[in-house]
Amino acid sequence: MTPFKMHGTHILSTGSAVPDICISNDLLSNIIDTSDTWISTRTGIKERRILDNNQSIIDLARIASDEALIKGLIKAEDLDLILFATSTPNDLFGSASQLQKSLGATKAAAFDITAACSGFVIGLIVAQQFIQTGTYKNILIVGADTLSQWVDWSDRTTCILFGDGAGAAILQPSRQNDLMSFELNTDGSESHQLSIQHQENSSSIDYKNLNFSAQKISKYKYLTMNGKEVYKFAVSKVPESINKCLQTSQLKTNQITWLLLHQANQRILDTVSQKLQIPTEKVLSNIQCYGNTSAASIPIALNEAFNTGHICHKDIIAIAGFGAGLTWGSILIQWNAIE
């Protein structure tokens, strides 16, 4: 029997995209009872990007993916797998196949990962399993969400937080391993704290002769959130999760070069970094420009950090995603510029 060989995983390239329409806090305060001061001090957000009717989540995902493909010198036809992390798909059966078609990635298997703001971290980990085992060579992971279509724009407690966007990364096997350790969690008993639920009993179809009635669900409610509980969850669970990863990799907090948290709220970023005793200058943040873009937030920030030259050879990046589910998890990366 051929001995089973484990491969290392390399982050080859990244990409990102946001819509053109920019909604500032001042603009929002014209339609709801809020202010730039309230939003900025409570969340760190100054503006967010919103998709218009002429663009879809697939268009955004396509632009982000194209950037990653071009930078990685990979042709779409050479992709083996596309993982599309989104909770706002075009099609409830999954949107990954639409992205596969748009890219012309004819050889790639493609499926969705529904895990809200943890989606991209989960995508990285899933991709790593396929690479480690030698199953696939070129994997595209996209995190994209358009929560602007699911928030109630008259609800000031939620609509101020979210924006739309997409981010992508291509993973390949390599001799050195960029993905050092990971840690994942779910607490379904708290799922009600942040959710988009379907309308109950929107109508039901009675199949009298067959002795059952089926619920016909055609509508979903707006996003609902218990902000205080979600805040407490994030600042308690995320440091724990990162510490577990550090332990697994036998690293100390001061060895982290960059802390890249899901961009939910600047106060969450500040509290988590303080708890971990990671100085502010090591915390990657772009929340003021985009708000919370759910599954897209981590890959957008990662791509910007690569594009601006912040991430260098051998840097250690601690990444954590958290959100609806409730789900949370971390991944430690030591990025190797050259294989």
Binding site for ligand COA (CB under 6 A): 34, 38-39, 42-43, 117, 156-157, 160, 225, 227-228, 230-231, 264-265, 268, 292, 323
CB of 117 to ligand COA, least distance (A): 4
- State which residue, 145 or 178, has the beta carbon closest to ligand COA: 145
- Asked if 226 is an active-site residue, the reply is no
Smallest distance, Å, CB 292 to ligand COA? Answer: 6
Q: In the complex, what is the shortest distance from the CB of residue 263 to ligand COA, in angstroms, rounded to a whole number?
A: 9
Contact between residue 174 and residue 10 where contact means Cβ atoms under 8 Å apart: yes
Q: Which is the catalytic residue, given 138, 177, 265, 292? A: 292
8 Å CB contact between 276 and 336: no
Shortest distance, CB of residue 295 to ligand COA, whole angstroms?
10
User: What secondary structure does DSSP assign to 91-124, as a single string?
Assistant: STT-SHHHHHHHHT-TT-EEEEE--GGGHHHHHH
Of 8 and 227, nearer to ligand COA (C-beta) is 227
User: What is the rounded distance in angstroms from the CA atom of residue 219 to the CA atom of residue 201?
Assistant: 10
Backbone angles phi, psi at 19, to 5 degrees: -70, 165
Query: What does the DSSP 8-state code read for residue 19?
Result: -
Q: Which of 10, 117, 245, 303 is catalytic?
A: 117
CA proximity to 327, closest of 65, 115, 71: 115
Residue 117 appears among annotated catalytic residues: yes
Residue 171 CB, nearest distance to ligand COA (Å)? 24
Decide whether 10 or 262 has the Cβ nearer to ligand COA: 262
* Dihedral over alpha carbons 84, 325, 224, 160 (to 10 degrees): -60
Residue in the shown chain whose Cβ atom is closest to ligand COA: 227
Whether 144 and 295 have beta carbons less than 8 Å apart is answered as yes
Would residue 245 show up in a list of annotated catalytic residues for this protein?
no
Which CB atom, from 266 or from 334, has the smaller least distance to ligand COA? Answer: 266
* Closest CB to ligand COA among residues 72, 143: 143
Catalytic residue among 7, 177, 262, 303: 262
- Contact status, residue 99 vs residue 65, Cβ threshold 8 Å: yes
Q: How far is CA 220 from CA 50, 106, 217, 320, 327, in A?
A: 20, 33, 8, 28, 21
Residues annotated as catalytic (active site), given as ranges: 117, 262, 292
